[in-house]
Structure formats: C-alpha cells, structure tokens
Structure 1
Amino acid sequence: MSNPKRPVNIHKGYHAHVYFDQETLDFASKLCKEAGDRFGIKVGRVHQKLVGPHTQWSCQITFSHKSFDEFIPWLDQNRGTLTVLVHALTGDDLADHTKYAYWLGDSVEINLDGLKA
C-alpha cells in the first residue's frame, strides 16, 4: 500500500501495535512505557517474538476513543521511524485487522490466517 489509511476516531476501543526490531527495541520500549505513563492507558508486553497476526516484534497499547485525540497525534509525533498499526476493537478480529486497520508510518503485512470474523 502506498497510502495507508490514517487512524480515525470512529470506534469505541482500539489497539495500537508498535512494531520494532532488535535495533529499535530500546526506543520502542521507552515509547510504550511513556505512552502508558503519560496517558494512563494499558501497555502490554514488549514481545521480542511474533505474536498473533503480527509479522514483526510488537508492543500492544489498548486505549479508548476518549484518549484517541490526544494519544494518536502524540504517538505519531514521537514514534520516530517506527511503524504503528492502529486498529478498532469491534469483536470481529478479521475486520479489525483489515477494514478497520490504520497506520502511522508505512503499512506492514499482517498474517490474517487464523483471524475470525
């Protein structure tokens, strides 16, 4: 995708998956911790392995539409060169990772095998 969809605040809940590799691990870890501290949102583990449909190492941040308007611009401004998948939490995993998938930075391939509608 040359023009990935940008995040929009039209859902009740979201995940942001911050993608990183060995070289950006420290930066990503600090970014995720700061997001949790600054916005009072839930930050998951920093996974140095592939988890779920993600094809890169990642850290999951859970937030609601109430945090969106402050959190997403901050995340975009502070992510450096990291790519972030932002997706809705509708209960339909397949739609959440396709139709309701938005990007900060370049899009990354998602492994849709095993995601259920």
Structure 2
Amino acid sequence: MSLQRHPHVASAVNPEIIQHYHAHVYYDPASSRDRAARLRERVAAIFPDVTLGRWHDAPVGPHTQSMYQLAFPPPLLASFLPWLMLNRDGLSILLHPGTGDAYADHIDHAVWLGSVLPLRADVLRKSRKTPSQS
C-alpha cells in the first residue's frame, strides 16, 4: 500500500508497521466460559491461520478479567474482524495491532467489540520502550 502525505497532516503512521493482531476474548469462568469455548472452537474450525492462546482464568498482565488471546496475521483482518463482530455471542473482545509498542497497541490503537473493560495501563507503561531503548 502506498500512502500519500496530505499537506495538512504533519505525520502519519504507516499501517505496514503492524506485524500481527491480537483479539483478547474476555469471559467469566463461572458464567460465560462455555460461550467463550464455543467461540474458540468455531474460530479454530473456520480460521486455521488464527493461533489460539492459552486460557487465563485469572487476570494476567494488563487484563483485569479472564481471557484468551487469538493471534492472526494482518491479511486476515478484513475477514476475521467482521466475523468476530457478528459471532462474539455477547462476549467483550479487545482487538489491537502488534507494532512493538505494547502500551500504544493496547491503549491508543485498540478497538473494542462489546463492553469496554478496564485495563491495567501501569503494567504496559513498565514495558513501554523509550526512545533511548530503541
């Protein structure tokens, strides 16, 4: 993709820096784990290029609720995102790019399907690279 610079935009980030995407599927172990499992099974059957992450029945990292991760390559976004929109079965999903900046990916560049849930941004700030670390 070739992006042309608009004269009124000082700088733009080229989407080609996106290495992958993560979709974090949130659930309650007591009340919605079965729905999350059904969604996971359907994803595996329909989208073989999606990598299924481990189940986390307790909060982990910046995630304040139980979840599992679905990782996928950028070319899959155009088909996988609409499918998730229509088939999430009431579950909240955080979708974010993987650019190498975990804070920006989870906080600034993320989109939510369903309810927006709190994240522990302080955990991400600790892992954020500063310009001197690049």
TM-score normalised by the chain length of structure 1: 0.86
- Do the aligned residues in 2 keep the contact of 1:48 with 1:57 (CA within 8 Å)? yes
Aligned-partner residue type, residue 102 of structure 1: V
CA distance in 2, matches of 1:12, 1:45: 20
1:84 to 87, 93, 96: 93
- Structure 2: segments with no counterpart, 5+ residues: 1-14, 129-134
**Aligned length, in residue pairs:** 108
- Do the aligned residues in 2 keep the contact of 1:50 with 1:57 (CA within 8 Å)? yes
CA distance in 1, matches of 2:35, 2:94: 17
TM-score normalised by the chain length of structure 2: 0.76
Could you say what secondary structure the match of 1:23 adopts?
A: coil
Could you say what secondary structure the match of 1:97 adopts?
A: helix
Residue 36 of structure 1: how far off its partner (Å): 2.3
1:94 corresponding residue in structure 2:
103
Could you say what secondary structure the match of 1:53 adopts?
A: coil
Aligned-partner residue type, residue 33 of structure 2: L
Q: Does 1:13 align with 2:3?
A: no
Residue 114 of structure 1: how far off its partner (Å): 2.1
Matches within 5 A, 1:38-117: 38-40=46-48, 41-115=50-124, 116-117=127-128
Aligned-partner residue type, residue 24 of structure 1: S
- Structure 1: segments with no counterpart, 5+ residues: 1-9
Residue 24 of structure 1: how far off its partner (Å): 0.6
1:28 corresponding residue in structure 2:
36
* 1:3-45 Cα shifts (integer Å, max 9, x gaps): xxxxxxx444110000000211011012012212211110111
More helix by share: 2
Higher-Rg member (1/2)? 2
Moved over 3 A (4+): none
CA distance in 1, matches of 2:45, 2:77: 15
Which protein has greater RCO, CA pairs closer than 8 Å, 6+ apart? 1
* 1:48-103 Cα shifts (integer Å, max 9, x gaps): 11111001100100012111111111111111111100011011111011111111
Alignment identity in percent?
A: 40
